[in-house]
Structure formats: structure tokens, C-alpha cells
Amino acid sequence: MASYHWLTPSRLLIFILAFSIISFILFSLSDDCTCATIDTLMVKHKFYVINQIDTHRFNRASLLNAGFKELSEDCSYIALHDVDLLPRNPAISYHYDNVLNGPHHVSSPELHPKYDYSKFIGGIMLMTCEQFQKLNGLSNRFWGWGREDDELYMRIQEANMKISRPEEISTGRKTFYHIHDKKKRKRDVKRLGNQHKESFKRDPETGLDNVQYSVRSTQELSVNGAEGILLHVMIECDVTITPWCDDA
């Protein structure tokens, strides 16, 4: 692994990645991919890959909550990072200074290859551990794909936090690679029962403090010099609250 002069040597950034089938997209790229690798961003970092192994529908928010609770104590700030979104512009910053005054949305609506609505905060979000705790993480009610980030936006607004976004990035919608194979990884967009209606509401009851999960096994990762931990996790579902956690 190359040696760099870290811009924030005393600050450890931990990437939390949630998935239901192990993916190493963030670590290993095809030869023709000219991405800005994490090492070139000069940030001390570590990866936590949270792999959902239960039989319920995918729950990204609960996996991120579980991953946060398992973090090492020396974590300074986190990146809630989609596994299929990769920076291709080295001007994109993951530095700690970005989160001094609030969460930093790296993949802003002006730069994301697909999503451009003004309240969009998905893809890649940086925040301090304290900020994530103040928000009580994310809602645990979102089973299947989508909308947990929109509920997180409500939490951030309610907490009067200011969201910053990258400035002076000239690459527009070519700033990131969005590596998603729709045939191999079909998204679960089903809305069962009253799930659709409930997904537009602010959830004041669930979050980081009451996510129910168990870690079944862990593995240390070292891919292309990047250190990390792979956690195989089972998420619990209370069907009286979210009966849509399983397919009908």
C-alpha cells in the first residue's frame, strides 16, 4: 500500500456499506475504470461491509444502523456509502473538514448520475459519529429498495443541521460511476400493504437506539491494501410494526 501524507492524520473515516449479497465493487474495479481511488483522497480510512444474511427483504437502513453500532471506538466520522457508486473525479473530497458544520452530501443532486431532486441525500453521505447519534441513525421501517434516505432528510431538517455539498466540481453527472447491473441485481421495489403510504412519513419511533440484529460471523478484509471488516448480520423484524418485511 502506498504511503501518503494524510490531510487529517488524527481522524479515522469509516465507510459503512450495506448489502444483501457480498459485493466488492468499491474495492476491485475493472482495468478500464479510471476511478479516483480512496487512497488517492488521502484520508485515513477503514471499511465495514454489512452483509444481510437473513431471509427478510433488504433493509439498508437497519444494516447501516447495525454497522454503526459495531464500529471501532477510534472512529471520527462515517461515510454512508452505496456499493455501486464510485467517484471518478479526484477533486471529490472525503476529508473531515467537510463535516465540521453538519453532514456533507458527497453525491449531490447536481453530480449524481441519476437522481437530481433537491431533497436527495442518497448515494454517499459523510457525517460525524456524534451527528449520526443525534439523528438516532435511520428508520428501521424501510424494507425493500428506496426512501430511507428521504426519511433521513426529514431527521436532518428536524435537527436543524445544515447539509453541505461539493463546490466547484466541473464534471457534472460524469463525476461518479453508477455501476448497477439491473439484470444481476434487481431492486426490490414492491410496496406491500400500506408500505407506500408509510414510507412518506417521518418515523419518530425507530432508529439507531432500537435496531434489532445479531452478528453471526465476522471476517477481516484486506483488498488492494484497504483494511476492513465483513460482518454477516441477521436483521429482526417485528411484523406487528412492519408486516411488509417479508414477501407476501
Classify burial at 36, counting beta carbons within 10 Å of its beta carbon; exposed 0-12, middle 13-18, buried 19 or more.
middle
CA distance 231 to 109: 31
pTM of the model: 0.88
CA distance 93 to 172: 15
Q: Quick check: 47 and 15 in contact, CB under 8 A? A: yes
- Look at residue 2 in the predicted model and tell me its pLDDT: 36
CA distance 67 to 202: 22
Predicted confidence (pLDDT) per residue in 4-34, tens digit? 344 455 688 888 988 765 444 444 443 444 4
- Look at residue 19 in the predicted model and tell me its pLDDT: 72
Predicted confidence (pLDDT) per residue in 100-138, tens digit? 999 999 999 999 999 899 999 999 999 999 999 999 999
Q: What is the mean pLDDT of the chain?
A: 85
Q: Indicate if the alpha-carbon torsion angle 6, 12, 17, 21 is positive or negative.
A: positive
- The kind and range of the H/E element at 153 are helix 148-158
CA distance 141 to 139: 6
The better pLDDT of the pair 218, 24 is held by 218
Q: What separation in angstroms does the CA of 40 have from each of 37, 50, 123, 165?
A: 6, 24, 20, 20
Helices (H) and strands (E) in the chain, counts: 4, 9
Predicted confidence (pLDDT) per residue in 164-202, tens digit? 999 999 999 999 988 766 666 677 778 888 888 988 899
The DSSP-derived string for 53-110 is -SSSPP-HHHHHHHHHHT--TT--EEEEE-TTEEE--TT----GGGGTTS-EESS-TT
Predicted confidence (pLDDT) per residue in 48-76, tens digit? 999 999 999 999 999 999 999 999 777 89
- Look at residue 128 in the predicted model and tell me its pLDDT: 97
Q: At residue 246, does pLDDT exceed 80? A: yes
Q: At residue 92, does pLDDT exceed 70? A: yes
**Directed axis angle between helix 60-69 and helix 148-158, to 10°?**
60
Listed ranges 134-143, 216-225, 239-248; the one with the highest mean pLDDT: 134-143
CA distance 19 to 50: 6
Buried b / exposed e over 53-77, threshold 16 CB at 10 Å, is: ebebbbbbbbbbbbbbebbeeebbb
The better pLDDT of the pair 77, 21 is held by 77
Q: Quick check: 106 and 163 in contact, CB under 8 A? A: no
Average pLDDT of 153-166? 98
- Look at residue 26 in the predicted model and tell me its pLDDT: 46
Reduced to 3 states, what is the DSSP secondary structure of residue 221?
strand
Rounded to a whole number of angstroms, the CA Rg of the chain reads 17
